[in-house]
Amino acid sequence: MELRIEDLLAFPMQIAEHVRMGVAEANSFKQECADMSKKVERLVQLLRQAARFSSGNNNMNNYSAGLYERPAKRIMLGVTKALERVLVLVKKCKRSGILKRVMTITNTADFRKVNLLLESSIGDVTWLLNISTSGEDRPECIGLPPIAATDPILGLVWEQVSIVHVGTPDQKADAAVNLENLAKDNERNVQIIIEEGGVLPLLWLLKEGTVSGQEAAARALGQLARDQEQVKAMRDVGACAAFTHILGNHATSMKVQSEVAWAISQFASQDDEAQEELASLGAIRLLVALLAHDLIDETSLKVANKSTSIHSIVKNIGQNKTVGSGAGGGNASTTDLDQRVDDFNKKMGEKQVPALDGLANSTHSQKVYPTKQASALHQGNQNHRDKEDPEIKVMLKAEAAHALWKLAKNNIKNSKQITDTRALLCFAKLIETDHGMVKYNSIMAIMEIAAAAERDKELRRAAFKTNSTAVKAVVECLLRVLEQEADEPDLQAPCAKALGSLAHIFPAPARPQITALTIALGSEEPNVAAEGAIALCKFADNDNYLHMEHSRTILEAGATDHLVQLVNFGEPYVQIHALRLLCYLSLNAADSDALGKAATLPALLTFSRSQLLTKHEDIRQLLMDAIAKLELYQLGSSHGRPNSVP
């Protein structure tokens, strides 16, 4: 069982009392023992001060009270070992007689070593008291404790976490920024911050700090999300509940909400369980509400016949039987949400942090506001949000789309929950009207949702009906990017991928989609050409019920010239995808004049002797079948004779 700080403080003081008695009984090295006793007394005084600090840990209404637990335990263990060494040395001095004195082999060097240990312990406890002090009594320059002399980063992390714990509002914000900077691109620092208890003070700062403090806390928490284990450690102390609380609190600054949305995207990127937990807490619907702000008329945003304003989203979390149950969001009942909030409060309380009654109240108070009070509060906050800096609004939309993208990635359930809102229509409008990261993140979110629909027939049938206004708008935006934005390959590639994932929803002849993807085949960017070929393969593959009709449409769109060019001269990874599509077209429409005019058979025969084929044995049989089919249909044509192979 882990010792409490109180126990660790009591034990060294008991040893010190034995040291005091031993010094009084010493028969040799009396002066050295007396000098050493003075240091022990000084150390005991400091330990008593630490005990008074520690007693504040039980005061749950005062977050500033109490010692910083992690360094306190390490330091007290070091103090205990130092005092044990002192006691052993003092006991040796109790012996009398020259022979006994010689036998103990005690000399002044032993006292020097022990004195150094005592001075280090005094320095460590003094440092611990300094970092645990708030207000005017806190020294401006604290420095490093002796215990961290060999690892300065550890001492620096302790100091910054302590400032987040007990500093002034401005100091807390600066310390959170320092922790963020320490965590950037440094895996060890991230691990130290998490292990040394830096997450809970940051979560409290996120909830209760100034706007600048909340922003810095959200960024620091996002920086700490570097792998699955680290995200799990933060989830265990209630990070996801804190994030959704901020998203649902419409009195919160939009800048803070954008930073929290970014942190959510980092969590979702690293941990599948974080995706599930955030969705069950209502994060998806809250993000969609933020995405839709000033974008779509309130009357056009309906989710299960309820408006998806931020106010109604938060209200729905408390009132609905399930959070997103219609969206496959799991059985997150009101009781479950209450339990999650209670667990968050409990965990914060276990770490000497006051219970987060404000979190529970702010989440569930939406249920009990009188109608006039709720309306006035909502209207006042709405007016404030309407006056926000346009750049901040754009940033919030970009990060909300980013978070939804990461929540949807490889997650069919979350993708279904997103499509059950009107997020698709929001994405379409953002792609149409915005540029930069808002547009990019919206396209990437659509790409991931489409990929989920490709894997799940139920999602595809429910969310991507071709007569749906939102689906029509999304497809039109994807086509427009492919056809008109050739200078944006980073946008074109995911657009092509999304259309390929949706290949099964398009009825024949799907001419607009196939034409746009054929344009992508001719792109100078290999990645765009490769994604265009992959997407068209999904139209022409036998798994597609309309593959024969789509294949002829692809040929009519002029894809063969691009494909032969790519097979002959493209990058290796592009060659393979172009070759696969050319084989599908040859098998599905071998009698097409377009294949003969483009010299498809010579291109396939040439590639059959390529060394690249040895690395892709899975395509060899497909290639042989395509060659055989073309030889059967085009052997007598001037375009397809085998002897025309260069």
What is the model's pLDDT at position 144? 84
Distance between CA 342 and CA 277 in Å, rounded? 15
Q: Which amino acid is at 277?
A: E
Q: In 3-state terms, what secondary structure has residue 581?
A: helix
Beta bridge partner(s), residue 199: none
Q: Both tokens of residue 44?
A: 């005991």
What is the model's pLDDT at position 55? 61
Q: Where are the domains of the chain?
A: 1-149, 195-446
Query: Is pLDDT above 70 for 355?
Result: no
Distance between CA 304 and CA 326 in Å, rounded? 8
- The alpha carbon of residue 271 and the mean position of all alpha carbons in its chain are separated, in whole angstroms, by 8
pLDDT digits (tens, 9 = 90+) for 180-234: 999 998 899 999 999 999 999 999 999 999 999 999 999 999 999 999 999 999 9
Band (pLDDT 50/70/90 cuts) for residue 612 is: confident
Terminal-to-terminal C-alpha distance of the chain: 79
Give, in degrees to the nearest 5, the angle at Cα 59 between 166 and 366: 85
Alpha helix segments (H runs only) across 209-253: 211-224, 228-236, 239-248
Nearest to 217 by CA among 233, 196, 193: 193
Distance between CA 182 and CA 502 in Å, rounded? 43
**Measured torsion, CA atoms of residues 578, 580, 582, 587, in degrees rounded to the nearest 10:** -170
pLDDT digits (tens, 9 = 90+) for 507-547: 999 999 999 999 999 999 999 999 999 999 999 999 999 99
Percentage above 90 pLDDT, the chain = 50
Can you say whether the dihedral through the CA atoms of 59, 64, 70, 72 is positive or negative? Answer: negative
Nearest to 480 by CA among 454, 623, 488: 488
pLDDT digits (tens, 9 = 90+) for 109-153: 888 888 899 899 999 998 988 888 876 667 777 778 898 888 899
Q: Both tokens of residue 105?
A: 């082999």
Distance between CA 561 and CA 555 in Å, rounded? 9
197 φ/ψ sector (left φ>0, alpha ψ -120 to 50, else beta): left
What is the model's pLDDT at position 23? 77
